[in-house]
Amino acid sequence: MKKTYVYPAIYEHEDNGTISVYFPDIDNCFTSGETLEECYINAKECLELFIESELELDKKLPTPSNYETFTNNKFLVIVDVENMKKQNRSVNRMVTLPYWLNKAAKEEKINVSHFLQEALKERISS
């Protein structure tokens, strides 16, 4: 299973001042926003939801088109999406603790797995 999917997205200025975004390779996958940043965030979320839905239904994803030629008042922005299902899945790790520490954690009702996840996240982000 791929980790990242990349599809071209078309951003188009509308008469009302908003920006519409659609994916030429995907039917009924579109969004909009007031700013480019908002459009990018919305487009990424829209594409993530589409891909997650298709993968859960074991459907084949459409092949991204060649995005070299665009005309009129349109411009191209690449939207990349990570396969969050694969990134967020849990894996088993064996951890060795001293007996006394394991006993103390049980007495304090500490979820060791959760505690280690939080400690690792904090350490990695700092």
Strands (E), the chain: 4-13, 19-22, 30-33, 74-82
> Which of 23, 35, 96 minimizes the C-alpha distance to 64?
23
Structure tokens at 43: 């487009």
Q: Say if residue 77 is in the same domain as residue 102.
A: no
The pLDDT value given to residue 91: 77
* Contact status, residue 6 vs residue 48, Cβ threshold 8 Å: no
Instruction: Count the domains in the chain.
Output: 2
- pTM of the model as a whole: 0.57
Whether residues 98 and 82 fall in one domain: no
CATH number for the domain harbouring residue 27: 3.30.160.250
Give the pLDDT confidence score for residue 18 in this predicted structure. 95
The reply to whether 75 and 33 lie within a common domain is yes
Tell whether 51 and 96 lie within a shared domain: no
Q: What is the pLDDT of residue 68?
A: 64
Q: Are residues 118 and 95 in the same domain?
A: yes
Q: Give pLDDT, residue 6.
A: 85
Judgement on whether residues 41 and 94 belong to the same structural domain of the protein? no
| pLDDT tens sequence for the chain (126 residues) | 677 888 888 889 999 999 999 998 999 999 999 998 899 899 999 999 999 999 989 999 998 877 665 556 666 666 767 776 666 677 778 889 999 999 999 999 999 999 998 999 888 887
